[in-house]
A and B are shown apart, each in its own frame.
Chain A
Amino acid sequence: MRLYEWEAKQLLAERAVPVPDGGLARSPGEAGALARGWDACVVKAQVLHGGRMKAGLVQFAEDGASAEGAAAGLLEVDAPQSPPSVLVEERLQVREERFLAALYDPRARGPEIVYTPRGGIDVEQDAEDTVVRIPLEPGRPVQTFRLRAALRNAGVEGRDLRALTGIAAAVAQTFFAHDATLVEINPLAHVAGRGWVALDAHIELDGDALGRHPALVERFELGARADDGRFPTAIEQAASKIDELDHRGVAGRLVEFDGDIALIIGGGGASLTVFDAIRDAGGRPANYCEVGGNPSVAKVSAFTRLLLEQLSPSRLAVVMNVVSNTRADLVARGVVQGCIDAGRDPADTIAVFRVPGAWEAECHELLADYGVQALGRDVGIDAAARLAAGVTTR
């Protein structure tokens, strides 16, 4: 779960990482008032995605009036948060930029500090051989001397060595203290008269660990934050509501697409496979979703009805891997009920129904009563997807 820049900077500043002087503004007037404290300032939209500089979401202003103007534009930006806000900061004279982060390295399968002597907005394209990776010991206090030794080996010396070691240790401590999966400072800028300052910061928290950080959840109101910072559509929001109907199973994590085949698919790996296969066969899915964990009939029927009424698909495809926990007959019952509730004939609407496994015989009987011929496990996921896409030959 991503934090806003201002939140990330607050957490870092609490561990003595230098950040620019600044404040949060929720209106152009507030931005203007803040800006009058400095000769020049930066106005930064507070949104939950990267690439702000290239998207024009970071603007420079010379005085209060121009800061007000910049803030007025940025506060209009369509983003999934309310109320919208901008961070207004003193503009600093940057001499040099570096990159510093704490993250989990999937190869080493452990936490580490990543440092590169060149920061900036294109740091990802930096040559891998300039990247310094310093392993951290999970579950142990941060050993500052190891960070210092590694930075020294990377050519950092003198006053810089002391400052950067301190910041690296603070980044590592922030990472562990809040159960983050990423703490990144980019750029870490060298500023005349100020030394090293975190010009921008990005923190991702582990959504699975929020339960042990109630104070942080309350402080930043994390309970209501969207997972990926994407603005959910009205239908996606409605689907989430359906998922909250009861706690049995999942049916409602929906992403909308511009196609004509509504999908009820599951579980995780199979959903991805079905979606790929339908596209490969030339079909255009209307949505992505994952249904699993034995959802109730009510949940599946409400979800089916929503897909049929809101997406107006030409047909519906229900495809899952061989299920053991999810009951195929309950899925069938829900889908049939959803069709009827949406005023559509199940036989004309359900193009493909392939849910082999638990309670398969009951499922097939029930569907047959409504004129739908269910497919068994002898029809593979790809073959079922091609049928859904309207391809009848292999």
Chain B
Amino acid sequence: MSVLVDAGTRLLVQGITGREAANFTRECLDYGTEVVAGVTPGKGGDRVYEVPVFDTVEEAVARTSPNAALLSVPPLLVLDAALETIAAQIPLVVIITERVPRADVAILVAAARNAGTTLIGPNSLGVITPGKCKLGSIGGPAEDVRRAYTPGRVGIVSRSGGMTTEIASMLSGAGIGQSTCISVGGDALIGTTLLDAYRLFVVDAGTDAVVTFSEPGGAQEHELAEYLDRSGGPSTPIFSFVTGRFIDDMPGTRFGHAGTIVEAGGSTARAKILRLRSSGVEVLDRLDDLPAALAASLRERAGKTTRAPVGR
């Protein structure tokens, strides 16, 4: 089991004729993702690695019935392209493009909410359900993806694209596989937050624990903590790492992603660590400790569910 994408995913790639998009289309196909269509206005009738290209999303939907879309178009064209996809009622839209104006993201977040579309990104590296389907450049070429990501029962949600793969690789090295891994994007305004992603995992029978990777800035961790407080603690255990503690000592300076700006006291790394801990999240001091902490939790959970009815 998994969330968002699986073997039944039929992918449409908007901007498929672009260099970067063509590149990750190849990677996705190599990994086994079913890429059914591409869209680039004016290039209808072309093919990219045998994938048919259409001029409009409407046409692509009528001919190929995609159920997920990946967007890689120039930043100022993202708004229209994503609205086109949402209007075509494709239920999952993942925006890879970086540097999308915040005003456009706000419009898209509202449009996705109204249409019931799951919007991921912008500035996402993609989503992967190991062994089944990868959307986007996440993990790179298929052979590299297979080294880092292995099928299993831990979900990963990360505000850093590169760290999504780093964490998966750490877990795989310790024999811990992943259900689905989501790069939600590091921008200040994004479609799917840590909390949104966590709620997907909570109802997934194939996910036993969730790992989150956070950076300073924003209110996502506070939102997650408040949700946990309301629902009586984490029903699915959460292991979190919050990076960027050193920035606490130097407010105002810009490091890392656009979203990594410390605006107010509550959005520093240390404030987030304290807040998450107060709501029952296991926040790691050292990232290297993650596999051992997870393994212990998974063992305990397995012990609870598979214990023999008669004691020995």
Contacts and interface: CB of A to CB of B under 8 A. Distances in A.
Interface in B222-268: 223, 241, 243-247, 252-258, 260, 264
A276 B249 CA distance: 12
Interface centre among A255, A268, A292, A380 (most CB of B within 10 A): A268
Interface centre among A107, A358, A378 (most CB of B within 10 A): A107
A109 B109 contact: yes
B61 interface: no
Given A228-B253, A321-B165, A138 B219 contact: no
Contact of A381 (B100, B141, B245, B288): B288
Nearest to B161: A267
Interface stretch (B50-58, B86-94, B166-174, B293-301): B166-174
Contacts of A111: 103, 106
B286 A324 contact: no
> Which secondary structure characterizes the binding site on chain A?
mixed
Contacts of B145: 324
A273 B243 contact: yes
Interface centre among B139, B193, B253 (most CB of A within 10 A): B253
B287 A324 contact: no
A37 to B, nearest CB: 35
Contacts of B205: none
Given A324-B137, A357-B144, A383-B288, A179 B246 contact: no
Given A104-B102, A325-B137, A377 B169 contact: yes
Contact of A321 (B75, B102, B162, B188): B162
A85 B244 CA distance: 35
How many chain B residues sit at the interface, stated as a range, is 35 or more
B215 A269 contact: yes
B287 A106 contact: no
Interface string A313-347: 00000001111110000000000000000000000
A194 interface: no
Nearest to B250: A255
Interface residues of A, number: 54
Given A324-B144, A377-B169, A381-B166, A268 B110 contact: no
Contact of B76 (A110, A212, A227, A276): A212
Contacts of A110: 106, 109-110
Contact of A322 (B103, B159, B162, B286): B162
Interface stretch (A17-25, A150-158, A184-192, A203-211): A203-211
A235 B110 CA distance: 43
A107 B106 contact: no
Contacts of B144: 324, 357-358
Contacts of A181: 102, 188
B215 A138 contact: no
Given A209-B102, A276-B244, A321 B288 contact: no
Interface string B95-126: 00001111110110110000000000000000
Contact of A176 (B103, B109, B189, B254): B103
B39 to A, nearest CB: 22
Interface in A271-302: 271-273, 275-277, 279-280, 288, 290, 292
Given A208-B99, A380-B170, A381-B166, A270 B160 contact: yes
A269 B253 contact: no
Interface in A126-148: 137-139
Contact of B140 (A209, A279, A325): A325
A271 B257 CA distance: 11
A381 B215 CA distance: 16
B141 A209 contact: no
B215 A211 contact: no
B220 interface: yes
Contact of B188 (A106, A176, A211, A273): A106
B176 to A, nearest CB: 14
B33 interface: no
A228 B148 CA distance: 36
Contacts of A292: 162
A227 B252 CA distance: 11
A268 B252 contact: no
A260 interface: no
Interface string A346-362: 00000000001110000
A342 B169 CA distance: 35
Given A208-B102, A322-B148, A322-B162, A275 B246 contact: yes
A106 B288 contact: no
A382 B165 contact: no
A241 interface: no
A380 B174 CA distance: 12
Contacts of B163: 269-270, 273, 321
Contacts of A206: 101-103
Contacts of A377: 169-170, 173
Contacts of B244: 272, 276
Contacts of A356: 169
Interface in A362-394: 377-378, 380-383
B116 to A, nearest CB: 16
Contacts of A176: 103
B106 A358 contact: no
Nearest to B191: A109
Contacts of A266: 162
A269 B101 contact: no
Contacts of A325: 137, 140
B189 A357 contact: no
B186 interface: yes
B213 interface: yes
A107 B165 contact: no
A179 B103 CA distance: 7
A124 B264 CA distance: 8
B14 interface: no
A110 B255 CA distance: 24
Contacts of A228: 252-254
A230 interface: yes
Nearest to B83: A139
Given A137-B110, A179-B103, A273-B163, 20 more contacts: A106-B188, A106-B189, A109-B109, A110-B106, A138-B110, A139-B103, A208-B75, A212-B101, A228-B253, A267-B160, A269-B215, A272-B215, A276-B243, A324-B139, A324-B140, A325-B140, A377-B170, A381-B166, A381-B288, A382-B286
List 5 A-B pairs, minimum CB-CB distance, nearest first. A324-B140, A269-B160, A209-B101, A321-B166, A380-B288
